[in-house]
Amino acid sequence: MDTPQDFRFLIESIAQRHNPYYENEYLVIQTYPREIQLRVETRRFDYAQAKKWCELENFAHDYTSFALKIFHQGKLYSVNSDGTPGEISRQQDWKIDPRYLNAHYDQNSEAEIIVCNCSYPYFLCFLDPEDSERQPVTCLVDDFGGIINNCPNCGIQIVDDIEIEDEPLYFEEEQEYIPEACQGCSNYHGSVYNGNLLVCAIHPYGWNNQSCPDFTR
């Protein structure tokens, strides 16, 4: 016998949250601000429809940005102009172990999940009651409990946002981390504030394709 709970999954927006992603499915995801878990605005198998939806979402929001990705071989990829998979995306659908999620939302816990600028989540906690500084550790379902000093996804050094306060940090080899679309652009800023890379004032988290419409020499 069908229940009201069963009929909830007839609503597309609800069903999309529970169904797995399928090969060559286009996902419009939120790229700014980045959240602990991947936020997918819509899913389509039609490239033109997905691209149009992404453009409308970006047009309608002033403080939130979206990008079009394609699900290919279990990962998210950028999308070429012909709708085929491009480069692998730094932003992925990270699966966080429930134990770390519970600790993050526990108001009595001093531990929390931090999202790297590239979207990778890690867990910041005191490993020993006598520790004076929190240590970043991995918290994914398939990789948890490992002490890290650099992000496993992008390689950037992880710094506790409590320590850096308002002082900007710079990459030792900054050129290596400049997105392809930003190389040579006079708008590029490239400094880190409170653990977040500010790419430029126009696109704080950068442009997801190789050709940025605001590129200026």
Mean pLDDT (the chain, rounded): 81
Residue 173 above 50 pLDDT?
Answer: no
Assess whether pLDDT exceeds 80 at residue 133. Answer: yes
Domain ranges (residues) in the chain: 4-88, 98-158, 165-217
Most confidently modeled range among 16-30, 162-176, 181-195: 16-30
Residues 77, 92: contact at Cβ < 8 Å?
no
- Whole-model pTM: value is 0.65
Is pLDDT at 172 greater than 60 in this prediction? no
Name which residue leads in pLDDT, 166 or 190: 190
Express each pLDDT in 149-161 by its tens digit.
999 999 998 865 4
pLDDT at 177 over 90: no
What per-residue confidence (pLDDT) applies to 105? 93
What is the predicted pLDDT for the residue at 108? 87
**Confidence tier at 208 by pLDDT (50, 70, 90):** low
The residue-averaged pLDDT of 134-140 equals 94
Which tens digit of pLDDT belongs to each residue from 1-48?
455 555 444 555 555 556 789 999 999 999 988 889 999 999 999 999
